[in-house]
Amino acid sequence: MTQEAKFASTRQLAGLLASILLFACLLYLGRIFFITFISSILIAFILDPIVNALMRFRLPRGAASFLACSLMLTVVYLMGLAIWMQALGLWEDLPAYSRRVAELVDSATSQVESVEKAAQDIFVPKRLRDNQPPPPDTKKSSKKKKAPAPDPNVPPPVQEVRIMQEDGQFLNVIYEKLREYYDAALMASFVPFLVYFLLSWRDHMRKSMLALLSTEGQRQNMQRAWDGIANVARAYLVGNFLLGIVLSIASAIFFWFVKLPYWQVVGPMSGFLSLIPYLGLPLAVIPPFAAALPVYSGLPAYLLIGSTTAVFHLLALNLLYPKLVGARVHLNPLVVTVALMLWYLLWGGAGLVLAIPITAGMKAAFDNIPSLRPYGKVLGD
């Protein structure tokens, strides 16, 4: 290989790495926009069969899309109303939870102190313990003189000014946190409109995208890639949703049987948290453990709740998941792990949720484009 060829190859590699770095920076800086837009696309894939079913009754696509979005918003509203009603009941029982948490903290503190005392008895020689001075007697402390009343003409001390400055910094931190949630809530308000336009203008957008391609073969490849992405995303999301419903029902029935408070909300929370890759099991046991604090105090009850939740999780992932989701999404475990790490670094918790559907959609597009099929095999199982 000549010197010029080596230089051209190095320059091409550097350009590729620079492009990847620039694309990663763009994904990170515009994460709120991309999360909103990709979530809207996935929701549109889920609602598209409903729109097609409504169009069989001779409804135009715009009206069918509006009815499908209205159904989605109604379901979200009813779920939010149920959660709000349960949250009000939890607010009323908050003193009981506070007392229980205080009791657990006191018990843990006493156990730690007893362990420290036992360790001291074992490792510290008795002669050193006998030579230690007795602890100071706080009951015989001398009486302090009463501080004089502050003079109103004297300016406040530096300490009070410093406290006021710290309070101002604390308020600034709270404002910045609320501003982040405000931006997320503002972008989330665009989701219903994006979903509606993606559904109602689907055919127009597809024809416009296909018209950008020059040859008929490229149009067919793009059409197959579009259909493959839609089928894989729909299978993944619908399969996970059905799996979450099954887990929610099973968990809610078990929590009702053991007299767990707020089982109507704890069951669905535990069921859907169980679907998060790699972190599902530890996250699924947090809601029932928190709800059991004012009811159960013994370790066997928590072992029963944790073991039953783990059994539901393992049965769902090993028996139901391959049939509902795995038959359509063929990703090898290494790709799934790397995708979860990468998208978590870029988008945080939302990246964990969107990592697998994004990667599965990329694989579906690669499999349906002949020039990119080797990359699809790399991602496959």
Nearest 5°: phi and psi at 248? Answer: -65, -45
Q: How far is CA 91 from CA 12, 16, 33, 50, 95, in A?
A: 61, 54, 34, 38, 8
Q: Say what the pTM is.
A: 0.69
Per-residue pLDDT, 12: 80
Torsion sign, CA atoms 193, 196, 199, 205: negative
C-alpha to C-alpha distance for 355 and 350, rounded to whole angstroms: 8
C-alpha to C-alpha distance for 185 and 88, rounded to whole angstroms: 22
What is the rounded end-to-end Cα distance, in angstroms, of the chain?
36
Q: Of 79-93, 127-141, 145-159, 325-339, which one has max mean pLDDT? A: 325-339
pLDDT tens across 231-282, in order? 888 888 888 888 888 888 999 999 899 888 888 888 888 888 888 877 788 8
pLDDT tens across 2-54, in order? 777 777 778 887 888 888 889 889 988 888 889 899 888 888 888 888 888 88
C-alpha to C-alpha distance for 175 and 241, rounded to whole angstroms: 35
